[in-house]
Each structure stands twice: as structure tokens, then as C-alpha cells.
Chains A and B, each alone.
Chain A
């Protein structure tokens, strides 16, 4: 498996492979079911969950609706606290900035805290091309990096691997990255965690440059927040001399007080804990404690395009907890790789096509990677109505229309693959507007029902490939209604 998402097949093809892999399905079912039950218990502990969820939604919405003001405020407060702020319009610019900052330190390696933003921009690959080695230090990211694999979950990128597979990857690969795995490594999770501890220790202790993302940025104080479990985050945030944080512009909250909402909802939604083991907050630099230089790279990369869509912009409320992945029946069966992006699952199905556009086959297919059951919306701690955005994006794929791409207004053309659907919908629209024709057609359909095939021919075959054609009743509803006056004269 290659480490990139470029040239992925559309979701249905990728998912078909995944569904046919019994190990993968077993791993995913075990992990998602474990976390679901725990999350329900953690959420039930808070009697005011609904109020916290609503407050979280409103804080994020308010911030997004005044994002220009809060970005300027954040820039001023980070700068006042001793940090340096950089602005990156796209992935390429962000990679260029980070590469330059690392080069200026004279170092040729960096340690990384798990970060979705740096994965989204492909930072590791860009650094490698410039001769800088980036070491992932989160356990799951390490498993993915050592396995030459791709992440398949927001929180637990190696969720598709079971303990036996992880043992094999460690035994085979650790030696070529640094300290090898111990002889006779078992597949006990505690032993695997210990192997990672020993392997990464030397890298932490000698690191001069750390790279992170952030869960939150507080505009009024210039404070950044990283929420984590293992302590690798603390290592990367405090031991190096230079810290570079790459953060999406939507990660802002206005005030320090706003953290009281998210520090309650995020841990319970993601790892189902009352509180995650470690949360670090820092404001610029501190004398003789932690990095002497702090750089914040503010990343757009499609976020302002998403913001321009009045229905779709709610996806920017996402706090990357991954609760929606864990409850999704489609994700549970298809796995994360089928989504062709670092953002898999329901949130990925609405975020990726907005950040990247719907020009590629995989991106145009993502809004369809859902049964619209709504479990994701229920679980979301900032109440993103994912089904609403999915339907909105489907409409855009099929019908085209106005959108914003890289800051420019464009008119999207309808997707090619949906001609038959559009023709059918046009025909239905015409029929419903002409009652006489509708009545004649319905009667004809009822009388000829013995002759109906079980599956459709031509382009309709795909639709009936996995479903039966609904049976047509012996009598149209409206005829029955007229004959019986709505059942009052039964039979």
C-alpha cells in the first residue's frame, strides 16, 4: 500500500475491496463497538450534555461568522506573546514555510505531534524531499509510518491494524528508523506501548525542532491547546528549541472561557474519557521553559472556500473528535482508506469534497458514502448536521452550480455520471405537474404489473443490482381513495 491518497478509485470501488477483507472488518467492528459503549457512558455522566453541545455549536458558528476579526486578534496576541505568525493560502505554501523554518535552524530532523493539518498538506513528504526526516511520535501514527501505510481514522489512524499486525510491523521496521524492537516482542498492548516508548525516547531527547497542530487557538490570549494521551505531545511541545505549529484557520475560539465547553465535550466524544491524560496550553514563548522560538502557520487550503458555502460551512465547526466515525455503519464496514483522504468517515465525506472540490472521481463520490441514517449528527458534539450537508453536496455534484474554488467564484458543471438520474427526475417532475398523464401512467403500470421485470435494464441496472424493484400495487392510491372514500367504505 502506498502512503498517498492520489489517484484513489471512487468510494464504491475502494469500499468493495475493504468489505471483502474479513480481518479489516473484524478489526473495525471490534474497535468501533468498544468505543461506542464507552462514549455513551462518558456522555451520560453529564446531565447538561445537550446544553454543552449547543454552546459548542454557537461558539464555533459565531467565530466562523466573524473569522476575519478573530484571525487578526489571534495574530496580534500570539505576536505580543513572543510568537511569529505566518499565513499559508494552500498546502504548497504551508510546506514551503515549514521547510524554510526547519532549514533555518540547521537541523535535518523534526519530531511531530499527531496533527491532521500536517497530514492534509503532506508535510512529511515535502520535508523528505528537502532532506528533512520527520518522525511521527503518536503511537498510531508511528504504526502507520513504519508500516508505509495510510491513516484510516482521525483519532486512531491505525485502527485497521490489530495487535498481531502491529507486532509484526514493529519487529520488521523499527530497526531501519532507529532503535530496533526488543527480541521476542509479544502482541500484548502494554509490551507494544513499551517498545514504542523505548524506540522514540532517543528521538525526543535529542530533538531540536518540534512540529505540531493544535486543537484550539484562543484569540483573546493567543493561547494554543493540544489535547493528547501519551505524552509524545508534551515531549514535542517542550523539549525542542523551536516549535512550529500548523493550524487550520477554523480552530479559533474567541475567549479563554470558551475552553470550558470543549475541554468537557472533546475528551468524552473522542476517547470516551472524563479527561484525556495530558492537555498542554502555551501562549507564545516562556523564558527558560520550553521552546525559545515559536512559529504559528495559519492554514487556509480550502477552508475559506468551505466558509463561502452557507450550508456547507458548518463542517468547519468540527473539533476532530471522530465520534461520527465510530458510530457510522458505513465507516464500520468500509474502513477509512476507502474515503481517499486523511479525513475519513461522515465528517470526511462532507469536509474533503469542500476542501478539495468535487472534480475528481473519489471526491465526487464521497457525498454518496452514507445511508443518511443520521447517527453522526446525533453523536457530533458541535451538532454538525452531516446528513444535511451530504444532501446539499449531492445536489451540487448532480446539478452543478455556483461555488468558490481557491477564493474565486466558479460555476460547477453537472457531473457526467448522473445523466440517467437527471432524465428520470425531469420526467418525474413533468408527470407530477400533469395529473392527467400521471393518472393514465399509474393505471397502465398497475394493469401491466404481471409483466414487470425484477431488475431494470440499461442504466437502471446499477440501481437494482443491490435492491428489488418495488412491486406496483394492483390499484393506484388515488383510484382506491376515490372508490372507498379513504377507507370509510372499506372494500
Chain B
């Protein structure tokens, strides 16, 4: 007998007390928890996202489509980045003002190469107001998972209001589990020293979120 059969056999013997006609999954789990915590207007949802992002030390900017390229240029300059990592589907106009050299996200690049790039600019799949979270799903404007991980400075553009949801349940509804997802809530942090939160470990130490509406 192989281990698969052995383990499944043990499970079935262990569950001999479970009746065959037990309540099915659909009725076994009460879903009376809230879909969203409180009622908010769209503007209030955007405000809450900004507040919660800031609370976990992300830097939040608000702008419109026309001024976005200049804002991105300023943020890259302020960080001193001469190179910027770019996913292949990033709208080219976003980087129309910056003079930083674009480094395309290529499968063949080594992690060491990416480690020498100062900043990365991505879009996102969805942003969650109640938790201050942005979610990347590897779409063309977000790129491979590693590009938002290795550079020390991540600029993430969120389209307002269409990419913002209120809560975690609403975010999961919108996301496709077959894609690799990265949920980001503030810059990398740790609570490992005396259970106090310290920002800045392995992921980007600076996270800037631009809300474009």
C-alpha cells in the first residue's frame, strides 16, 4: 500500500462516526457575516483606502490622468532612481515625462540584474479600502511577481474608483484564483523583535500608491 492510500484509509477510519447524510457544504457554513463593514459613498471608500494605506506607512498621492506622468517623474527623481522597471503592458504615457531609463520586465533577466534597478512602476488588479491593501495579479500592466519585490521602491497606480472595493470578500469575488496573486498592505515589515512593528525588511521599503481619478 502506498502512502496516499494509507493516509486516505486512516482518514476514512477516523471519520467512521460522521453520518453519510451530513449537512452539505452549502448549508454547513453560516454566511451571516458582513459583506462590507459600514455603508460608504464612493468618495468615502477612496478616503478610507488612503487612510489605511497611510496608517501602514505607504505614501499616498492623488492626481488625475493628465498630471500622472509628471507625478511619476517627480517620485522617481525624489528616490534618485536612474532606472525604472516596467511591466510590458504599462500604459506608455505614464512614463512620458520621466527621463529614467526603462528596464523592461523580461523572463531572461537574472534577479541580480533586477536588484540594481531603483524603482518599479505597476498598475494593480484591485485595492481594498478596509484593509489598505493593493492586489497584483500578474496582468500585463503589473508584470511578473518578482518585479514588485526586488526593487526597493514600488510605485503602484490605482484607477479610482473602478479598481477600489470596500472589503476583503468583495476583493476575492473580483480576483481569479488561477493567476498568481500578491496582496500588498504597506511596505515590507516585521514584528519579530519584541512584537513591535518595524517597516522595511526584504520587500520594497518604500511603497507609494497613486490614486488616479
Contacts and interface: CB of A to CB of B under 8 A. Distances in A.
Are these two chains actual partners, yes or no?
A: yes
A35 B178 contact: no
Interface in A120-141: 137-140
A89 B6 contact: yes
B28 A30 contact: no
Contacts of B31: 55
A394 B33 CA distance: 36
19 contacts: A55-B33, A62-B28, A62-B29, A66-B15, A67-B15, A137-B202, A139-B190, A139-B193, A159-B194, A162-B194, A193-B190, A193-B193, A193-B198, A229-B188, A238-B180, A249-B7, A275-B132, A278-B184, A288-B107
Interface stretch (B17-25, B63-71, B90-98): B17-25
A393 interface: no
Nearest to A86: B3
Interface residues of B, number: 75
Contacts of B4: 87
Instruction: Give the 6 A-B CB pairs with smallest separation, nearest first.
Output: A231-B203, A231-B202, A304-B10, A308-B14, A275-B131, A230-B201
B52 interface: yes
**What interface size band does chain A fall in?**
35 or more
Contact of A231 (B25, B107, B144, B188): B188
B200 A259 contact: no
Contact of A66 (B18, B169, B189, B201): B18
Contacts of A249: 7, 11
A221 B175 CA distance: 13
Interface string B165-182: 000110011000111111
Which of the listed residues B14, B132, B146, B149 has the most CB atoms from chain A within 10 Å of its own CB?
B14
B130 interface: yes
Interface in B39-74: 52, 56
Contact of A304 (B11, B25, B181): B11
B190 A230 contact: yes
Given A163-B194, A275-B132, A289-B138, 18 more contacts: A32-B195, A58-B28, A58-B30, A65-B18, A67-B11, A68-B11, A71-B8, A139-B193, A193-B200, A197-B200, A218-B177, A221-B177, A231-B204, A238-B149, A249-B7, A281-B181, A289-B146, A300-B3
Given A231-B201, A256-B172, A304-B10, A223 B177 contact: yes
A67 to B, nearest CB: 5
Contact of A59 (B8, B29, B178, B186): B29
B185 A31 contact: no
A281 B149 contact: no
Contacts of B29: 55, 58-59, 62, 258
Contacts of A278: 182-185, 188, 203
B177 A256 contact: yes
Which of the listed residues A162, A190, A238, A307 has the most CB atoms from chain B within 10 Å of its own CB?
A238
A51 B32 contact: yes
Nearest to B10: A304
Interface of A: 27, 30-32, 34-35, 45-48, 51-52, 54-55, 58-59, 61-62, 65-68, 71-72, 81, 87-89, 93, 137-140, 143, 155-156, 158-159, 162-163, 166, 189-190, 192-194, 196-197, 200-201, 204-206, 218, 221, 223, 229-232, 234-235, 237-239, 249, 254-261, 263-264, 271, 273-283, 286, 288-290, 298, 300, 304-305, 307-308, 310, 313, 404, 407
B29 to A, nearest CB: 5
B162 interface: no
Given A234-B149, A235-B202, A192 B111 contact: no
B177 A271 contact: no
B187 interface: yes
Contacts of B131: 274-275
B202 A232 contact: yes
Nearest to A187: B193
Which of the listed residues B15, B22, B183, B190 has the most CB atoms from chain A within 10 Å of its own CB?
B190
